[in-house]
């Protein structure tokens, strides 16, 4: 019974079935939004208007469809598929490799009928065939009148490497799901922050108690006044507040510290800072009135004690100025940094206070996954090595020659006919 059980695990049909189930679960995880709040699912999958006639938010929450890739049943399917690959490797691939290395002599001429290509030669020199085989890098083994030749044995290793690489990839996925996390932080310039706003994390994740400081944040623009790049000057601090690493992070170039990645993902404007002639500092908040794709902020700066009269400032970039309008919407001009706003009293614009949006994540399975894909590419190259076998039996003046190959049959036939010309 044990043998039948392991043979079932190593069966190709069983592995394909599990792979199809994993693919179906991945499709579900692609269709249904992952790691969203329960309110999002209540809005998009209400109880009254069921999606696909059965899908509602309570079913999604109950079966974990809001975090498919971290559920126990999805990880169980991946683990089962990995066990199937390991079992197939030891029960089928390694024995197949050992058989390929053996000298498999044909002892009767009837065995040549099972080969893809064979022929019978009369009055032909056996030495000529062997010399040509040797020139084509065949390994030759002889036992009396029986000869066995093969080449391209590394091509038989490719399936084993494929299994090994897929096991690595699956292991990396499981490790990343169990120990990884992703967080999002919006941090004002010059402020220190800790990792707190966790978006999702694995069952065995330990959130590091690291602190960091945003030294500066700025944006570069093209000649057409469109955004060219976002930059955040980030310092990693130890438990005493001392700087241990400092890097300027920008899009597609994160800060990396002990496997934790700090990505530049978003930005925001918080307020305008003014200074009076008597060095009084006043800050006015900025409110984002449009979507993230069209960022526009405005602020109301009162000109009297009752706050019912004032001016409106509008800003949509970080180029060092804002547009000023009166309470009737008439454009008064642009106010640049260090320029005086003529009110009663007058103030000078000293700073546009900005904040940077960072996505902080770690996935300890990524190096293992990359290693698995590396071996997968190696196996693809090795699989192009053709494993070819040739058998020869000499009986009196007759020479029986036949051969087979794993791929490139047409090239093998041309090579075979060159041996017997």
**Cα gap 107→52, rounded to integer Å:** 65
Whether the per-residue pLDDT at 293 is higher than 70: the answer is no
In terms of phi and psi (left: phi > 0; alpha: psi -120 to 50; beta: otherwise), the region of 86 is alpha
Q: Between the ranges 237-241, 329-333, 365-369, where is the mean pLDDT highest?
A: 365-369
Cα separations in angstroms, 139 against 44, 142, 319, 403: 66, 10, 73, 14
How far is C-alpha 124 from the chain's CA centre?
A: 60
Q: Does some domain include residue 160?
A: no
Backbone angles phi, psi at 67, to 5 degrees: -145, 60
Please check whether residues 57 and 18 belong to one and the same domain: yes
| CB contact at 8 A, 235 and 213 | yes
**Cα gap 289→301, rounded to integer Å:** 16
pLDDT in tens, 307-328: 778 889 999 888 888 898 888 8
pLDDT at 156: 81
Residues 156, 160, 161, 163: is their CA dihedral positive or negative? positive
pLDDT in tens, 236-265: 998 888 999 999 999 888 999 988 999 998
Whether the per-residue pLDDT at 126 is higher than 80: the answer is yes
Residues paired with residue 351 on neighbouring β-strands, in sequence order: 273
Please check whether residues 276 and 261 belong to one and the same domain: no
pLDDT at 235: 94
Whether the per-residue pLDDT at 374 is higher than 90: the answer is yes
pLDDT at 66: 87
Q: Tell which of 354, 378, 395 closes a domain.
A: 354
Across the range 86-106, mean pLDDT stands at 80
Assign 192 to helix, strand or coil. strand
| CB contact at 8 A, 267 and 230 | yes
Across the range 54-72, mean pLDDT stands at 87
**Cα gap 89→6, rounded to integer Å:** 11
Helix count and strand count (H, E) for the chain = 10, 21
Q: Between the ranges 43-47, 93-97, 212-216, 293-297, where is the mean pLDDT highest?
A: 212-216
Please check whether residues 148 and 195 belong to one and the same domain: no
Please check whether residues 31 and 20 belong to one and the same domain: yes
Q: Tell which of 96, 123, 138 closes a domain.
A: 96
Whether the per-residue pLDDT at 391 is higher than 80: the answer is yes
**Cα gap 183→413, rounded to integer Å:** 60
Whether the per-residue pLDDT at 292 is higher than 70: the answer is no
Q: Give one DSSP letter per residue of 234-250, joined into a string.
A: EEEE-TTS-EEEEEEEE
Q: How many domains does the chain have?
A: 4
pLDDT at 208: 87
Please check whether residues 30 and 74 belong to one and the same domain: yes
How far is C-alpha 93 from the chain's CA centre?
A: 29
Residues 331, 336, 342, 344: is their CA dihedral positive or negative? positive
Higher pLDDT, 249 or 343: 249
Q: Does some domain include residue 374?
A: no
Domain extent at residue 264: 181-268+358-364
Residues of the chain with pLDDT > 70, as a percent, come to: 98
CATH number at 127 reads 3.30.310
**Cα gap 262→81, rounded to integer Å:** 33
Please check whether residues 118 and 75 belong to one and the same domain: no
Across the range 131-160, mean pLDDT stands at 88
- Please report, to the nearest 10 degrees, the dihedral formed by the alpha carbons of residues 83, 86, 88, 89 taken in order: 180
Q: Does some domain include residue 373?
A: no
Whether the per-residue pLDDT at 344 is higher than 90: the answer is no
Across the range 77-83, mean pLDDT stands at 90
> Which contacts of 294-302 are long-range, i.e. CB under 8 A and separated by 24 or more positions?
295/268, 295/269, 297/269, 299/271, 299/272, 301/272, 301/341, 301/343
Residues of the chain with pLDDT > 90, as a percent, come to: 23
Q: How confident is the model at residue 303 (pLDDT cuts 50, 70, 90)?
A: confident
Whether the per-residue pLDDT at 291 is higher than 70: the answer is no
Please check whether residues 6 and 80 belong to one and the same domain: yes
Across the range 388-401, mean pLDDT stands at 88
Q: Tell which of 96, 118, 133 closes a domain.
A: 96
Cα separations in angstroms, 243 against 96, 130, 165, 192, 246: 57, 72, 40, 12, 7
- Please report, to the nearest 10 degrees, the dihedral formed by the alpha carbons of residues 364, 30, 52, 50 taken in order: 50
Higher pLDDT, 49 or 233: 233
pLDDT at 4: 79
Q: Does some domain include residue 172?
A: no
Instruction: Extract the tokens encoding 337.
Output: 């940094």
pLDDT at 102: 74
- The reported pTM is 0.70
pLDDT at 100: 66
Across the range 400-414, mean pLDDT stands at 87
| CB contact at 8 A, 394 and 144 | no
- Please report, to the nearest 10 degrees, the dihedral formed by the alpha carbons of residues 186, 192, 198, 203 taken in order: 160
């Amino acid at each position: 019974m044990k043998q039948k059980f392991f043979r079932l695990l190593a069966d190709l049909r069983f592995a394909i079935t599990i792979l199809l189930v994993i693919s179906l679960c991945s499709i579900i995880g692609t269709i249904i939004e992952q790691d969203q709040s329960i309110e999002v699912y209540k809005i998009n999958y209400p109880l009254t208007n069921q999606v696909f006639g059965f899908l509602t938010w309570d079913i999604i929450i109950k079966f974990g469809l809001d975090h498919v890739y971290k559920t126990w049943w999805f990880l169980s399917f991946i683990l089962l598929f990995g066990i199937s690959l390991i079992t197939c490797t030891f029960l089928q691939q390694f024995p197949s490799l050992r058989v390929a290395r053996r000298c498999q002599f044909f002892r009767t001429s009837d065995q040549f009928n099972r080969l893809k290509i064979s022929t019978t030669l009369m009055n032909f020199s056996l030495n000529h065939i062997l010399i040509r085989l040797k020139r084509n890098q065949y390994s030759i083994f002889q036992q009396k009148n029986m000869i066995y030749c093969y080449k391209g044995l590394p091509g038989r290793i490719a399936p084993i490497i494929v299994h090994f690489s897929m096991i690595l990839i699956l292991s990396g996925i499981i490790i990343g799901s169990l120990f990884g996390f992703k967080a999002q932080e919006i941090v004002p310039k010059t402020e220190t922050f800790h990792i707190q706003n966790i978006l999702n994390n694995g069952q065995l994740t330990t959130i590091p108690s690291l602190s960091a400081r945003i030294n500066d944040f700025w944006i570069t623009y093209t000649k057409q006044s469109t955004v060219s790049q976002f930059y955040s000057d980030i310092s990693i601090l130890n438990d005493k507040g001392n700087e241990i690493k400092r890097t300027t992070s920008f899009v597609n170039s994160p800060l990396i510290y002990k496997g934790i990645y700090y990505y530049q993902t978003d930005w925001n404007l918080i307020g305008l800072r003014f200074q009076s002639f008597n060095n009084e500092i006043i800050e006015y908040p900025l409110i984002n009135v449009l979507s993230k794709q069209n960022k526009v902020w405005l602020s109301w700066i009162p000109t009297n004690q009752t706050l019912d009269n004032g001016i409106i400032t509008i800003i949509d970039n970080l180029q060092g100025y804002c547009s000023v309008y009166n309470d009737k919407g008439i454009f008064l001009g642009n106010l640049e940094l260090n320029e005086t706003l003529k009110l009663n009293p007058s103030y000078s614009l000293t700073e546009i206070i900005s904040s940077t949006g960072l996505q902080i994540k770690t996935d300890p399975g990524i190096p293992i996954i990359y290693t698995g894909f590396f071996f997968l590419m190696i196996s693809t190259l090795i699989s192009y090595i053709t494993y070819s076998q040739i058998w020869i039996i000499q009986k009196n003046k007759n020479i029986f020659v036949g051969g087979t190959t794993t791929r490139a049959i047409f090239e093998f036939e041309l090579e075979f006919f060159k041996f017997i010309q």
